[in-house]
Amino acid sequence: MSDSKPGLAKRLDIIKPSPSIAANAMVAELQSQGREIINFTLGEPDLDTPSHILEAAKEAMYHGDTHYTPSLGTIALRQAIVEKLSRDNQLDYDISEVVVGTGGKHVIYHAFAATLNPGNEVIVPTPYWVSYPDIALLNEATPVFIETSPDNGFKLTPEQLDKAITPNTKWVVLNSPNNPSGAVYSSSELTAIADVLRRHPHVWILSDEIYEHFVYAPAEHISPLNVAPDLRDRTLILNGVSKGYAMTGWRIGFGAGPRHLIVAIGKLISQTTTCPSSVSQAAAVAAFSGDQTPISQMREKYQNRRDLVHARLSSVDGISCHSPDGAFYIYLDVSGLLGCSAPNGSILSSDDDVVAYFLESAGVAMVSGKAYGQSPFIRVSFASSEAVLERGCDAILKACQALSR
C-alpha cells in the first residue's frame, strides 16, 4: 500500500531522505535543545574556502557577474575544468564535453535522467554513497548491489562485476576515493575492471572522483580513463569543488563525457535549474585555475586526522577498522559490539543500535553502515579539528568500556 499523502507522487514512496543529511539535522535539533553533541556525521570539510576564491567571488559580484549563464556553465569555467583535467588527470577534453551542475549530485541526477529507461539496471558496489540508488530509483531504474569485502579493502572485483552485468545493465558506478570506506582503486585493479567492461559495450561508467585530492601516500588517484582511454565514449567523470576546495555550499560540480551525453544533460538543466550560480562559477574558476597550495595543506591535515582516529579507535575492544587510503571517513566494523548490553539493559543488535547508543551515552553522532548498504559498520567523518576528534574518540572508548559482554 502506498504511503503517499494525498496529492503527492507515488515515486516519493520508493526513496528516502539522505541519511547523512537527516543525521546532521538531528544533531542540529539536539544542539538547539542545549545538548553537547560531537558531530561525526557530515561529509564536508570543516575548513574554510581559501581566501583567493572568496576574492574572486567578491570581484564577480561587484563587476556585475550576477546574471544567467549558459545552461552548460560559463565558457570560462568549462575552460578551467578542461585545463584542470589536463593538469591533474592527464585527460584531454574539449569544453563541449564538459557540463557544470549545481553540485555533483545534480550532474548525476541529470545524467541518469538522460539515459535510464524503465527496466534498466545500475550496478552499485557496497558500501556506497547514499544517493546513488535513490537517484536510479527516481529515474525508474533498478539498483543492483554488489557487496564488497573489507578483506580486499571494500573494492569491486572483476569477477563480481562480470557476474552482475545483464543485458539490462546501463551504468556501473565507480567511486574512488570511496565514500564511506576510503577505498582507492589501483591502476591494476582499474585495468582488470576495464577488461570486463570491454566485453559489455552497452554498459556506461560513472566515475565519481569528487575526493580525488584527498588520497594518502603511497596510494594515488587514478581515473579509469588513465588505464582504459578506449572507454572514453561511455564514461562520465564526475567531480567538483565541494571537497577539494572546501566549497560545499557553493554548489558547483561538473561532468566530463561524450558530447551527446553532455548536450542531453544541458537540455535537462535548461528546463530545471536553468544554470548554476554565476558567482559560484566565478569562484570555481579561481579554485581550478588559481593557487593549488591550499589543497596540499588540507590533505596533510586530513592525513594527520586519519592517523589519529585510526590509532585511537582501532584499539577499542569490539571495534576494528582499516586505515583508509582516501577521502575523510573511517568505516568502523562494530560486529564485536553486537550482543553487548548497555548500562540500561538494552541489547545492541545492529549498527543502528550502536549508533543510537553512542549518541545517547557518549554524545557522539555518526551514521550507521546500513545507510551505505553494508552492516554492521559505522561511518566516522574525521573532517573535524584534532581536539574535537580526540574528545569524540575518548567518549566512544568510555561508552564501549561501559558495555557488558
Q: pLDDT 10s digit of each residue in the chain, 405 long? A: 445 578 999 989 998 888 877 887 888 888 888 888 899 998 889 999 999 999 999 999 999 999 999 999 999 999 999 999 999 999 999 999 999 999 999 999 999 999 999 999 999 999 999 999 999 999 999 999 999 999 999 999 999 999 999 999 999 999 999 999 999 999 999 999 999 999 999 999 999 999 999 999 999 999 999 999 999 999 999 999 999 999 999 999 999 999 999 999 999 999 999 999 999 999 999 999 999 999 999 999 999 999 999 999 999 999 999 999 999 999 999 999 999 999 999 999 999 999 999 999 999 999 999 999 999 999 999 999 999 999 999 999 999 999 998
List every span in the chain annotated with CATH 3.90.1150.10.
Answer: 10-48+294-401
184: left (phi over 0), alpha (psi -120 to 50) or beta: beta
CA–CA dist 267, 261 (Å, integer): 10
254 in helix, strand or coil? strand
CA 88 to each of CA 82, 92, 155, 225, 253: distance values in angstroms, whole numbers, following the listed order: 10, 11, 24, 13, 16
List every span in the chain annotated with CATH 3.40.640.10.
Answer: 52-291
Class of domain 52-291: alpha beta
CA 23 to each of CA 54, 65, 274, 367: distance values in angstroms, whole numbers, following the listed order: 29, 36, 30, 7
CA–CA dist 392, 280 (Å, integer): 34
CA–CA dist 351, 181 (Å, integer): 16
Torsion sign across C-alpha atoms 44, 48, 51, 54: positive
CATH of domain 10-48+294-401: 3.90.1150.10
CA–CA dist 27, 114 (Å, integer): 36
**Reported pTM:** 0.95
Centre a 10 Å sphere on the Cβ of residue 12 and count the other Cβ atoms it contains. 13
Residues paired with residue 381 on neighbouring β-strands, in sequence order? 329
